[in-house]
Amino acid sequence: MWIIENVLALIGAYLLGSVATSVWVSKIFYGLDIREHGSGNAGATNTFRVLGVKAGIPVLIVDAAKAFGAANLIIFLDHYTVGTNVYLNFKLLLGMMAVIGHILPIYVGFRGGKGVASLLGLVLAIHPAAALGSIIVFLLVLLISKYVSLSSMIAGAAFPILLIAYYHVTAKPLIIFAILASVALIYTHRKNINRIVKREESKANLTIRRRRR
């Protein structure tokens, strides 16, 4: 029975992650498909870049909430004990299924985003204090550079550093996840790095863009 419950929870986490926030917001409120503009990614980063703060903030919040909610589906599975490595491992797996759903969303032809906001939601579910520290790093870099991609990479790199150096976390599954997530963020942003070096990367639109009529 517990195997069936685990499978259903994993499927539910993927479907929750597949909610295509930026695509639906851009189509319903702005009359365009976000994937046809900017970097072509269906995520919060490209939404900020193309549509501005008014659209970017809701997309960021919902995309983060997807993975946060998915990771916490574990509370409905009474065969896991809070505080154990098994509990932490499955909670991470649920969150990662939501991140996969965000990157490969079944509802919109498997063309999603890079998973930055969803990873944020997952780390908030796993270690809120370190996640909030990474958010502060993100905002500071964004205000200085106006590059969402650069801010995401530096904030991602800050997360494992905060876990290990400041919060002295010793749980190996969490440390491994944090390091891999940081490396994955840098890898998925390799084109952005190239554009930043060449000074061709678009800066975030931090203004409020009015809805099209």
pLDDT tens for each residue of 151-210: 989 999 999 999 999 999 998 889 999 999 999 989 988 888 999 999 888 887 666 555
CB 35 within 8 A of CB 42: yes
Rounded to an integer, what distance in angstroms lies between the CA atom of residue 44 and that of residue 51? 10
Q: Residue 61 has what pLDDT? A: 95
Q: Residue 206 has what pLDDT? A: 67
Backbone angles phi, psi at 211, to 5 degrees: -65, 140
Q: Which residue has the higher pLDDT, 204 or 15?
A: 15
Q: Residue 210 has what pLDDT? A: 53
Q: Quick check: pTM over 0.75?
A: yes
- Confidence check: pLDDT of 128 > 50: yes
Three-class HEC string of 33-94: CHHHCCCCCCCHHHHHHHHEHHHHHHHHHHHHHHHHHHHHHHHHCCCCCCCCHHHHHHHHHH
Q: Residue 204 has what pLDDT? A: 74
Structure-token pair, residue 198: 């060449």
Q: Residue 82 has what pLDDT? A: 92
Helix, strand, or coil (residue 168): coil
Average pLDDT over residues 125-134: 95
CB 94 within 8 A of CB 73: yes
Cα dist from 149 to 11, 20, 26, 36, 80, whole Å: 29, 20, 20, 18, 37
- Confidence check: pLDDT of 2 > 70: yes
Q: Residue 53 has what pLDDT? A: 86
Q: Residue 48 has what pLDDT? A: 85
Q: Which residue has the higher pLDDT, 203 or 18?
A: 18
Alpha-helical regions (H) of the chain:
2-17, 21-30, 44-51, 53-71, 85-103, 116-126, 128-145, 148-161, 172-188, 190-197
| pLDDT over 70 percentage in the chain | 96
Q: Encode pLDDT of 28-52 as tens digits.
A: 999 999 999 988 889 988 898 889 8
Q: Residue 52 has what pLDDT? A: 86
Residue with tokens 């994955």: 184
Helix, strand, or coil (residue 110): coil
Q: What is the mean pLDDT of the chain?
A: 91
Q: Residue 213 has what pLDDT? A: 46
